[in-house]
Amino acid sequence: MDLRDPAQAAQWEEQDPDGFLRRREFLQRTAMTAGLAASAGLVLGPDALIAHAARQQRRAPLPKPRDLPIDTFVVLMMENRSFDHFAGWFPGADGKQAGLSYVDDDGTTHETHPLAPDYQGCAFHDPDHSWEGGRAQLNGGRCDGFLKGDNDVYAIGYYGEKDVPFLGSIARNFTICDRFFCSILASTFPNREYMHAAQSYGQIDNSFPPQAGYPSGFPDSTIFAALAAKGISNRYFFVDEPVSALWGSPGLARSSRVEEYYQRCKDGTLPALSFVDPSFENEDEGTSSDQHPHGDIRTGDAYMSDVVHAFLESPQFKRAAMFIVYDEWGGFFEHVPPPSVPDDRGSPDINKNYGQMGFRIPSVIISPYARRGHVDHTQWGFESILKMVRYRYGLAPLTKRDAYARNIARAFDWRSKPQLGIPTLPTPPKVVSQPCGPGTAFQARKASTSSMRPWLDRLGFDYKPATYDAMFRAPSSVRRARAAAMR
């Protein structure tokens, strides 16, 4: 509904007074951020306001690369959640949750709805987040196709702040971005490939390199290789299945298990760039810690807490920046259409266009130089993070995508003194994802899920399953939680 239409506004206020007030407050706050009268928010509408506010936010010039007081970057990438679905509740952000409706293939209208206390969704399908499915959901920019195809009402459910207590708290205490889009309107691997290399090597699905004509792995045109060529330290940290294996032996050579990340945080020996991933094993059964359906989102929230607390407690925090992102939207509903941007494989045909970004994802910037309690409205993608790293270390663009991207360094506050104090943050209970039971919807997905294990075996990788000791800094608390759940 549009607040600028008096009839729609009255209907919205009657049906969903809380949502109506949140939207009105968002428009008024954003107008003030844009340097406009609060009443302008009700006249201009959100898109115009967001554009005005974003221009105001990025006015300050960047320090020169050698003067940028950041020499340690960390990226934590979780899985498959859209902004509206997971963070649409956030005050001052352009989010929508309650009060939206979508039509399924049978012509039946369904309302958006809270999902808790169901934190796994085992009874539902994993929403479609493919190249074709994303385009059907986008539907020419109308963003109304989230119940098309195999999607059920899980795709239009949402979680509130109390359901993701750590993510909510860290977002409130640092900077959350409400215009951060995943890089490509496609599934996990293509987006993670963009995060590592600003391209997906022509891939639109979760194909492994040999299927794409690269028998030994994708060419190592990653940010890691670019840093290494200049003698700058870098590392990829994983729990069980390393995504770095997509680049073959060179990717595995720069990889370590997450226990080493925790130790390096403690010792103050983090490299210039670290990527940290959760566990991916058994996503189909619902026991991963990456927040991918059907894993328990509380398990992912607890893992995120440990990774972030280790970072905040590190002596390197005073000159560091962490980005929490999600690889893609996971097929969950979104009201903001993603843009198309310059790309080496760009095309005016959306069905061939790699420059078509995916839907928004939750994203948080953590640093002494991040604005505290701030909502950033500028358009970003994974390539924006790569551009900041390249800017800091004087690296050439990896592709057209990161060459033309906005530098996310502009989201930081370089003029004020760094805020070195660490806010009080919750330590969520270590809830361990339980397998979805027989006959639940996950089994339909299981048959079509590609396993990474054959590719890892081919590379001679010493695979080890995820364990509590590997994932968490206090595994004894996990064991207690697991024992309590089993009683």
Condensed to tens digits (0 to 9), the pLDDT of residues 386-432 reads 999 999 999 999 999 999 999 999 999 998 999 999 998 988 776 77
Under DSSP, the state recorded for 317 is G
Candidates 3.40.50.2300, 3.40.720.10, 3.60.40.10, 3.40.50.300; CATH matching 70-411? 3.40.720.10
Domain boundaries, the chain: 6-57, 70-411
What percentage of the chain has pLDDT greater than the value 90? Answer: 69
**Model pTM above 0.85:** yes
Category of 173 on φ-ψ map: left (φ > 0), alpha (ψ -120 to 50) or beta:
alpha
Model confidence at 35: pLDDT above 90: no
- Which of 89-93, 112-116, 376-380, 422-426 has maximum average pLDDT? 112-116
Instruction: Report CA Rg, the chain.
Output: 21
Q: What per-residue confidence (pLDDT) applies to 443?
A: 46
Q: What per-residue confidence (pLDDT) applies to 481?
A: 64
Q: pLDDT band at residue 167, thresholds of 50, 70 and 90?
A: very high
Model confidence at 218: pLDDT above 90: yes
Q: What per-residue confidence (pLDDT) applies to 327?
A: 95
**Positive/negative CA dihedral, 449, 450, 452, 454:** positive
Count of other CB atoms within 10 angstroms of residue 485 = 10
Under DSSP, the state recorded for 181 is B
Among candidates 294, 316, 376, 275, which has minimal Cα distance to 33? Answer: 376
pLDDT average, residue stretch 79-98: 93
